[in-house]
Amino acid sequence: MISIEYSSRQRKIIEIVKDNEPITSEKIAEILDLTRATLRPDLAILTMSGILEARPKVGYFYTGKSENQEIFDKVKEIKVGEIKSIPVVVDEKTSVYDSIVSMFLNDVGTIFVISGGYLTGVVSRKDFIKSCIGGTDINKVPVGIIMTRMPNIVLAFEDETVLDAAKKIIEHEVDSLPIVEKEIIKGKEYFRVIGRISKTNITRLFIEITNI
């Protein structure tokens, strides 16, 4: 089995937890003079690998165990394209109302918006709630008005690992990522949506690997 190689920051986190357990993520961030958001991917890796244990409302403990290392190694090898699911896509001109209907019929938390076949934006439940609270006529407003536009969208590609995608989801605090193929047209980048990866995909993968 290949041993896990932790980054220098992850090794510092391990030592901090060993010396101060139980310790909260806020306290770890304070000691390292970093934000909690910056530490989230590192803490996720350390708990996933089994070296740390996280207990709600208590903090992190050092376990020193490596029972989860085999699982961790498997996850590092699995590509996003292997577990992708079908994306829910609407055109920019689709009304907010019809987009909400699409979201609930497909039971997803995020819809990807396209124009001319290429990704132009993303819209979430929060975006829809904000538009409804504002008293806007959601039957007349196109979803393109309320979406988060490119290039402010976090993307995933089929050949990147599930672990990398999971780190993006945690770091950017999003429900899912669009899986895209890049095309260059007249020197400009365009992205075609070919799938999505979400927290649900990743959770299902862990269940399958561990045979729970």
- State the CATH number of the domain containing residue 29: 1.10.10.10
| Residue at which a domain ends, from 28, 48, 77 | 77
- Asked if the model's pLDDT at residue 85 lies above 60, the reply is yes
User: 96-120 burial, b if ≥16 CB within 10 A, otherwise e?
Assistant: bbebbebbeeeebebbbbbeeeebb
| Residue at which a domain ends, from 58, 77, 96 | 77
Q: What percent of the chain has pLDDT over 70?
A: 91
What pLDDT does residue 68 have? 56
Span 159-201, pLDDT tens digits = 999 989 988 998 888 999 999 999 999 999 999 999 999 988 8
Does a structural domain hold residue 2?
Answer: no
Rounded to whole angstroms, the Cα distance separating 89 from 111 reads 6
> What is the domain range of residue 65?
8-77
For the chain, the average pLDDT equals 88
How many domains are there within the chain?
Answer: 2
Exposure of 16 in the CB half-sphere (CA atoms within 13 A): 21
Residues 102 and 180 in one domain: yes
| Residue at which a domain ends, from 77, 106, 122 | 77
Does a structural domain hold residue 97?
Answer: yes
What pLDDT does residue 160 have? 94
